Structure 1
Amino acid sequence: MTPSKQPIDFLIYLILFGSAVFVNKYVLSVLNFTYPTIFQGWQTLVGGLLLRVLLSNKCLSVSATDLDKPGFISLLPSFLFFSAGIVASSKALAGLSVPVYLCLQNSLGGLLYLVEVAPGFRGGAGPLLASLAVVVSAAATVLADIDMTFSDSPYFWMLVHLACVGVQTLHSRIADARYGDVDRLYFSYIFSVVVLAPASLYLEEAFEVLHFPHALRYDFYAGCLLSGVLGLFLNLSSMKVRQQAYFSGVDASGRLVTSLLALGTFTDVTTVPVKILITTNFVSSVFVPVPAVKELEFVNEASEPLKEGV
């Protein structure tokens, strides 16, 4: 990425991030669409079809790699944790305020950094202390909600979501090296559609959704469509800017701005102590380095596309 394009790419990322959070929160909380297998199945269907179109028309600087049997076996854990993670994420966001949700998401970066760097005392004291502050402030934010019942609460589903994303991130480092981030995202979309469709029948959400009171509202259909489109482009944008300098600061600033806007948009009530903890969390996350992942092929626009079926 050239320096002149970096601010534009960061701006695109921030707009996509804030828009995706707001659209998902609106559908899940305001419209109260509490059918995660249906919602996430629709998102991954839209995202998968759109990504297939982008790859077929060479709109991205990578080509899809064919998924063979060894590749499927290698990537299967990633597919499973991806599907479980997005369903848990929907259940968490439906019950948590946007600032709390984003604060708890930050804790994963801090934990991954501590697991990777702290045992060897590498990385310097600054990032280490920042990671500790992020994790502690996130835990304190949960504990500050003294009236919560953890069983089947949004906090429980947030914990499941973070665990799935964490394992998926670590697994990406040992997965079949032939498959880049775009490949894994595309096949994860396909796998999720295949898995969530029968799951919605087994959990009877496919039948319950027939009685959804807002099923004929245009904003409901627009929100569901936008959630899939924004989710795809947010993933692609994140892959592009994640390894760039200043990403931690840009991401933390975007989360803070999104949280402030959400406080004035949604009716979630957040106490003053929780607001202080969340602010501490966001400020500390600026100094937490992004966990190392495989190099993204399409970040370097001069690189050659992957060969089909390699």
Structure 2
Amino acid sequence: MQWRRHIAGLAFSFVFVVSYFTNKFVLSVLKFTYPTLFQGWQTFIGAILLLLSGKLGWVEMSRITRSAALSWLPGSLLFVGNIYAGSRSLSRINSSHVVSYIILKVIHREKAQWLKFISLCLMLLSAINLPLFDPQFDYSGYLWAVGHLFCVGAYRVFQVHYKPSNLSDLEQQCINYLFSVLLLAIAAHPTGDLTGALEFPSLQSSTFHCGCCASALLGFLLLLATVKLKSGFSFEHFGVWIFLSKITAMSLSPFIFHMDFNIPALICVVVSHVAEALLVYSERESL
């Protein structure tokens, strides 16, 4: 029924916003800036919960063959780059659609619709101008932001073109989790995150422990909500719910976290989201 589909969308938006705020609290407010450990913890718990849920029959997961896992490793590598660079970056640029769309157009050499082209130009323009005006923007994080956006865009392209018939979304994510845990655990010491975390002032704080546990659990719930939403909606409608969730998180952020911003930076953010709204609308119109 239609109302059940809307409930699935609202549940996704709620988990998305709460998960975003929890991660922001741990990374920004508590200043736990050690991504190999933070993301490693999240993917470790996510892998355990996903495998346990599959064992108990709560979610549908088949046995993952070695050949299927190996064929998905490029996607897992992009996934690790996405979460690692995303944690390193302090940027709030919202232009991953630009990256994926440009890569897709280079591959297919398709003629772009004028409305979609305008929206992508606006998103790119806001992304370029945001670091020039945002008083909170750290220029050292801009390269990490570019890396994050590239990994997100390339991962979307890989998902669209690879489409493994023998791997469901949950099975793909399970491979991503397991590969991430292994790679991030290996990288924890060389990056200095392990040494820094041992000296972290709030390491024994119950607030810190609750925040980390909540972030891992919410990440897993967000995965389930995402898979549920994708199975009940078309790709275009799924994009609408993601957009609404982003708008909700952006609108509520100033009321929950201290944010130092000015008018030009605010205009860049608003233009970026208006452009994404045009992009979502243009994709629905092209159906």
TM-score interval (norm. to shorter): 0.7 to 0.9
Distance 2:136 2:257 in 1: 21
1:87 aligns with 2:84: yes
Offset at residue 134 of structure 1 (A)? 2.2
Pick from 183, 186, 198: which aligns with 2:186? Answer: 198
* CA RMSD across the alignment: 2.5
Q: CA deviation at 1:231?
A: 1.3
1:169 lines up with 2:156 in the alignment: yes
Q: Would you say how many aligned residue pairs link Structure 1 and Structure 2?
A: 277
1:76 aligns with 2:40: no
> The residue matched to 1:121 in structure 2 has which SS?
coil
Identify the match of residue 260 of structure 1 among 238, 251, 254. Answer: 251
Aligned partner of 2:110 in structure 1 is 120
Whether the 8 Å contact between 1:23 and 1:223 is mirrored in structure 2 is yes
Offset of 1:114 from its aligned partner?
4.6
Report the TM-score when normalising by structure 2.
0.87
Tell me the secondary structure at the aligned position of residue 34 of structure 1.
Answer: coil
Determine the structure 2 residue equivalent to 1:248. Answer: 239
State the partner residue of 1:304. none
Q: Which residue of 2 aligns with 1:229?
A: 217
Deviation of 1:126 after TM superposition, in Å, equals 2.5
**Which residue identity does 2:252 align to in structure 1?**
L
2:99 and 2:150 in contact (8 A); partners too = no
* Residue 58 (structure 2) pairs with residue 67 (structure 1): no
Q: Which residue of 1 aligns with 2:55?
A: 56
Is the contact made by 1:248 and 1:286 (CA closer than 8 Å) also made in structure 2?
A: no
The DSSP-based 3-state class of the residue aligned with 2:129 is helix
Conserved 8 A contact 2:136-2:261:
no
Distance in 2 between the 1:274 and 1:7 partners? 33
Please state how far the C-alpha of 1:88 moved relative to its aligned partner.
1.1
In the TM superposition, what is the alpha-carbon distance from 1:48 to its structure 2 partner? 0.7
Question: Is the CA contact (8 Å cut-off) linking 1:10 and 1:241 kept in structure 2?
Answer: yes
**Aligned sequence identity (%):** 26
* Residues 108 and 162, structure 1, Cα contact 8 Å, conserved in 2: yes
- Equivalent position SS for 2:204: coil
Question: Residues 111 and 161 of structure 1: is their aligned pair in 2 closer, same or farther, counting only changes over 3 Å?
Answer: closer
Q: How much has 1:142 moved relative to structure 2? A: 2.7
Would the alpha carbon gap of residues 8 and 34 (structure 1) be closer, same or farther in structure 2, given more than 3 Å must change?
same
| Residue among 252, 260, 265 paired with 1:269 | 260
Q: Alpha-carbon deviation of 1:169?
A: 1.7
C-alpha offsets along residues 80-102 of structure 1, whole Å, 9 cap, x if unaligned? Answer: 1111211111112xx34xxxx2x
- Counterpart-to-counterpart distance in 2, 1:196 and 1:114: 29
Cα gap change, 1:41 to 1:289, in 2 (>3 Å): same
Distance 1:202 1:115, change over 3 A: closer
CA deviations over 1:255-292 (Å, ceiling 9, x no partner) = 222112211222231111111121121122123249x9
Q: How far apart, CA to CA, are the structure 1 residues paired with 2:203 and 2:215?
A: 16
Amino acid at match of 2:132: L
| Structure 2 gaps, min length 5 | none
The answer on 1:31 being equivalent to 2:30 is yes
Partner residue of 2:132? Answer: 143
Distance 1:164 1:203 in 2: 20
Matched residue, 1:296: none
Contact 1:114/1:131, CA 8 A, preserved across alignment: no
The answer to whether residue 172 in structure 2 is matched with residue 178 in structure 1 is no
- Contact 1:85 1:164 (C-alpha < 8 Å) held by counterparts: yes
Where does residue 305 of structure 1 map in the other structure?
A: none
How far off is 1:146 after superposition? 8.3
**Alpha-carbon distance in 2 for matches of 1:140, 1:247:** 29
TM-score, structure 1 normalization: 0.81
**Could you say which residue in structure 1 is the equivalent of 2:39?**
40
Matched residue type, 1:137: S
Give the deviation of 1:193 after TM superposition: 0.8
Match for residue 276 of structure 2? 285
CA contact (8 A) 2:136 2:260 kept: no
**What SS does the corresponding residue of 1:203 show, helix, strand or coil?**
coil
